[in-house]
């Protein structure tokens, strides 16, 4: 798909600085830009690439003032990083085809309800009384259990397993081999030293506009629901335990683990390998650096935490200054 600079500017609400008829057909990172490609520049430390880049178009912030000549045509926007995300969405939507398809080797139970132009790939299974909304894609080798509800415009990639009774909203993306609704890790110790399994009778509710990465697991609740609120983004290899609630627009990087019955607020950011102990509450707008381990509640919103056990950012940095020197004595 080809775009001219003036078309891109119109889509993004920007202006053109250079040749409005410059044409591109692919995206590239600014450090590897080549003719026919479009790049974006948002991080000041990459500014030298703007002058070296061979791409035909570069998306930049309106405030950017080049210190040298720029050979590429620049499309100026309010926020280059957000603009390229919007452009990628636009291109993806243009390429996406909505057509009704039923793989010959798929199995769809007669009591299920399938919306308009739903794609069900080969070897996919859709259980009894399941409901799948319009324009959703169920790729090959997906298991959708009995009584599952999946909304509109969802993408369920190959190998996903959705246990019976789970509820998934609109515009949800679930990547390959994710598991939604497995039993939580619940066992009661017995006098003879063995463990008795605690049955989990609840479900998982995933609200609209959520994206879940590959090999991520979201466990169903013992009673009630494990809830992933609207706009949450989970990276690959995350573990969300039973009865957890993740607030709206919270993001988690790879290998985050949240133990049972904890509640994460809205707009939180969890770096890679963060661990949250069970039955905790995390206030809104809390950030955790990579590998932080939380063992107590966070009551004050808007704080950043580091370390294990996790403590406020400035406390950690003061402590780090001390133990860094202690290690040299």
- Cα–Cα distance, 70 to 47 (Å, whole number): 11
Q: Rounded to the nearest 5°, which phi and psi values hold at 5?
A: -60, -40
Written as one string, the DSSP assignment of 103-168 is -TT-EE-TT-EE-TT-EE-TT-EE-TT-EE-TT-EE-TT-EE-TT-EE-TT-EE-TT-EE-TT-EE
Q: For 313-320, which contacts have Cβ atoms below 8 Å and span 24 or more sequence positions?
A: 313/289
- With H, G, I as helix, E, B as strand and everything else as coil, classify residue 101: strand
Cis, bond preceding 309 (omega within 30 deg of 0): yes
Catalytically annotated residues:
242
- Cα–Cα distance, 328 to 10 (Å, whole number): 59
- Cα–Cα distance, 73 to 35 (Å, whole number): 12
């Amino acid at each position: 798909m080809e775009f001219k600079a003036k078309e891109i500017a119109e889509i993004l609400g920007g202006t053109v600085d250079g040749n409005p008829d410059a044409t591109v057909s692919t995206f590239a990172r600014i450090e590897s830009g080549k003719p026919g490609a479009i790049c974006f520049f948002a991080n000041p430390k990459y500014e030298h690439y703007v002058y070296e880049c061979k791409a035909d178009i570069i998306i930049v912030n309106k405030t950017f003032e080049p210190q040298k000549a720029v050979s590429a045509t620049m499309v100026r926007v309010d926020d280059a990083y957000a603009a390229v995300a919007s452009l990628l969405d636009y291109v993806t939507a243009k390429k996406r085809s909505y057509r009704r398809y039923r793989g010959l080797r798929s199995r769809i139970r007669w009591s299920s309800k399938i919306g308009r132009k739903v794609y069900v790939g080969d070897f996919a299974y859709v259980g009894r009384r399941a409901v799948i909304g319009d324009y959703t894609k169920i790729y090959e080798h997906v298991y959708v259990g009995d009584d599952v509800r999946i909304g509109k415009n969802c993408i369920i990639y190959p190998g996903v397993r959705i246990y019976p009774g789970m509820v998934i909203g609109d515009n949800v993306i679930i990547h390959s081999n994710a598991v939604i609704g497995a039993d939580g890790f619940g066992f009661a110790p017995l006098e003879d030293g063995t463990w008795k399994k605690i049955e989990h009778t609840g479900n998982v509710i995933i609200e609209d506009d959520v994206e879940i990465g590959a090999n991520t697991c979201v466990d169903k609740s013992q009673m009630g629901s494990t809830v992933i609120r609207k706009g949450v983004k989970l990276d690959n290899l995350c573990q969300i335990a039973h009865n957890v609630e993740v607030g709206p627009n919270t993001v988690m990087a790879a290998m985050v683990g949240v133990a049972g019955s904890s509640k994460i607020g809205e707009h939180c950011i969890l770096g890679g390998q963060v661990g949250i102990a069970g039955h905790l509450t995390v206030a809104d707008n809390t950030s955790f650096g990579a590998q932080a381990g939380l063992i107590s509640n966070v009551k004050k919103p808007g704080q950043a935490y580091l370390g294990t056990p996790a403590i406020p950012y400035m406390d950690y940095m003061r402590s780090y200054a001390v133990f860094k020197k202690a290690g040299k004595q």
